[in-house]
Structure 1
Amino acid sequence: MNVIIIEDEPRTANDLKATLVSLDNSINVLAILPSVSTAVAWLQSNPAPELIFSDIQLGDGLSFEIFKEVQINAPVIFCTAFDEYAINAFESNSIDYLLKPIEEDRVEKSLQKFHRIKGHYSSAGNLDRVISQLTKQYKQSLLVHYREKIIPVKVADICLVYAANGLVNLHMTDKQEYTVQYTIEQLENMLDPKHFFRANRQFIINRDTVQNIEHYFNRRLVVHTACPTPETIIVSRLKANDFLRWIEQ
């Protein structure tokens, strides 16, 4: 999940970034933006993030000015030392309002709230996107380059996808491994989410190959699959409930 932080206090911004990654290591903080002007410039020249954390009082103005200047569809979680801006916040795509100092459990609750509503939020006023999602055709096979050959592999035979050290590998149910040119984000969009789950930043797993699940400390989960894994597959506590519901579907 791509996130930006709008915050003019470096320590506060870095603490928030560390908290987000500790809660869910699939969160990717694209940028920390310290002012209204830098945030406007960044948002005008980059693809929109999925979620924005924003302070309200910045060195060159209030962050509400950003959202007047740039059309933003992403939800915003405002973080501030003052509660006087709450009404304005909820007029600016806000889904939550955190008072500083920000505690980890409040950030966690805000992220859980975001996950509960993101489907409705992203589709609101965007019928084309909804239709696209409903009619999307997912890959049934992929072409891989292997020893001077091009080999078609069935998606159903993929045990898991593993990304590390700049490489993305398909681990097949027959124990074969193939390196592909796709990023893990591209593969996530190609694979049917009914059958494949993005467990974390490194793994996508096939539900049919999940053998068992263990509880892990800090309310996380460890997933064991039918094929050997290069490292332990850990599902963050924020994704744990979604993962268990997905397994039961």
Structure 2
Amino acid sequence: MKILIIEDELSAAKELERLLLRYEPSIEVVAIKDSVSSSISFLQSNPQLDLIFSDIQLADGMCFDIYKTVQIQSPIIFCTAFDEYMMEAFETNAVSYLLKPISMSKIQAAMEKFEQLKKLFRPEDNTRLIESLISNLKKNYKRTLLVNLREQIIPIPVDEIAYFYFQNKTIQITTFKNKQYSISPSLDELENVLDPEKFYRANRQFLIHKNSIKSIERFFMRKVVVELLISTPEAVVISKVKVNEFLRWMEGV
């Protein structure tokens, strides 16, 4: 059985490979790919696979971009750290999942389900699966945030938020109407519940909405400074290591 592993954490990929070989020594892990781009290149040249183990969030994007670009005829077992809602979405689409951290019992259950279903698996089923997963994934993103203002709880639609700013252990929300609120979750937590097509983690201080961006200016040391439509407490600087990723995000790639 030929298996491809798509996982951007090498240690996790190696552990998955070890467990698969422990489950069935005849398994051949033909490659481990750590990004959307490298996975697309590999699959375009190596279409004949029995099974794919695929992480969802990769360093350069979501794994679904792979399957929208390359027509996959292989069943996919998704590796995920998402909550139970997402797991149910996987289950209803006749493909199993591995909830991180990976264990031998999870490998065994996923492989047994794969063995039961592979005779019935058709390429068109996989297309419907991916479309369903994309739809369910988007439903998981927050559409409204609740903020406390004195004795009130105020709903703020996320599409009205220009940026989040972290300072002095507090997250400040600034809307497109230049209204400001404070909220308790960290930027890391917010980044996980907001649509990554709309919001970008510029640096440790800023999480910005794509529609809030007025212009981008090149800065020294190959950094860029992002000017927003709404004034910010300090410059929004993108480090040189994130510039290409940021520009791809701006283009919707």
Partners of 2:234 and 2:197 in 1: CA distance: 24
For residues 117 and 197 of structure 1, what CA distance do their matches in structure 2 show?
12
Asked if the contact 2:143–2:157 (Cα under 8 Å) also holds between the matched residues in 1, the reply is yes
The answer as to 2:232 corresponding to 1:229 is yes
Percent of pairs with identical residues? 31
Cα 1:230–1:52 change in 2 (3 A) is farther
CA distance in 2, matches of 1:169, 1:243: 22
Matched to 1:115, the amino acid is A
Code of the residue aligned with 1:218 in structure 2: it is M
What letter corresponds to residue 238 of structure 1 in structure 2? V
Dislocated runs of 4+, deviation >2 Å: 50-53, 114-120, 127-134
1:147: how far off?
Answer: 2.1
Structure-2 change in CA distance of 1:179 and 1:236 (3 Å): same
Instruction: For 1:184 and 1:117, locate their aligned partners in 2 and report how far apart those are by CA, in whole Å.
Output: 19
Aligned to 2:78: 126
Q: Secondary structure at the match of 2:246?
A: helix
Residue matched to 2:173: 170
Matched residues in 2 for 1:117 and 1:227: separation? 27
Code of the residue aligned with 1:198 in structure 2: it is R
How far apart are the structure 1 equivalents of 2:148 and 2:61?
40
> Does 1:135 find its partner at 2:136?
yes
Cα distance between partner residues in 2 of 1:236 and 1:140: 29
The one-letter code matched in structure 2 to 1:168 is I
Letter matched to residue 148 of structure 1: E
Aligned to 2:39: none
Which runs of 5 or more structure 2 residues have no equivalent in the other structure?
A: 1-7, 20-28, 35-57, 68-75, 80-89, 91-96, 98-129
User: Residue 185 of structure 1 aligns with which residue?
Assistant: 188
CA distance in 2, matches of 1:224, 1:117: 24
Q: Map of 1:19-98 to 2, 5 A cutoff?
A: 51=9
Higher RCO by CA contacts (8 Å cutoff, separation 6 or greater):
1
Q: Please point out which of 148, 151, 176 is paired with 2:151.
A: 148
Cα distance in 1, alignment partners of residues 182 and 167 from structure 2? 11
Please, which of 187, 194, 197 is the counterpart of residue 194 of structure 1?
A: 197
2:209 is equivalent to residue 206 of structure 1: yes
> Given that residues 143 and 158 in structure 2 are in contact (C-alpha distance below 8 angstroms), is that contact kept between their aligned partners in structure 1?
yes
1:217 aligns with: 220
- Cα distance 1:116–1:193, how it changes in 2: closer, same or farther (>3 A)? closer
In the superposition, the TM-score normalised over structure 2's length comes to 0.50
Offset at 1:149? Answer: 1.0
What amino acid is aligned across from residue 135 of structure 1 in structure 2? N
Check whether the contact 2:147–2:182 (CA below 8 A) recurs between aligned residues: yes
SS of structure 2 residue aligned to 1:247: helix
Matched letter for residue 150 of structure 2 = R
Secondary structure class of the residue paired with 1:231: coil
Q: Which residue of 1 aligns with 2:4?
A: none
Distance in 1 (alpha carbons) for counterparts of 2:240 and 2:184: 30
Q: Secondary structure at the match of 1:151?
A: strand
C-alpha change, 1:192 and 1:94, in structure 2 (3 Å) is closer
Partner residue of 1:160 out of 160, 163, 172: 163
Distance (whole Å) between structure 2 residues aligned to residue 229 and residue 179 of structure 1: 15
For residues 134 and 238 of structure 2, the distance between their equivalents in structure 1, rounded to whole angstroms, comes to: 25
**How many residues are paired up?**
157
Q: TM-score, normalised by structure 1?
A: 0.51
Kindly provide the CA deviation profile for residues 77-127 of structure 1, in whole angstroms up to 9, marking residues without a partner as x. xxxxxxxxxxxxx99x797xxxxxxxxxxxxxxxxxx8358848xx97426
Which runs of 5 or more structure 1 residues have no equivalent in the other structure?
1-49, 54-65, 72-89, 96-113
**Closer/same/farther in 2, CA of residues 116 and 143 from structure 1, 3 Å limit:** closer
- 2:60–2:245 Cα contact (<8 Å) kept: no
1:115 lines up with 2:59 in the alignment: yes
Q: Which moved more, 1:132-141 or 1:156-165?
A: 132-141
User: 8 Å contact 2:142–2:195 — kept in the other structure?
Assistant: yes
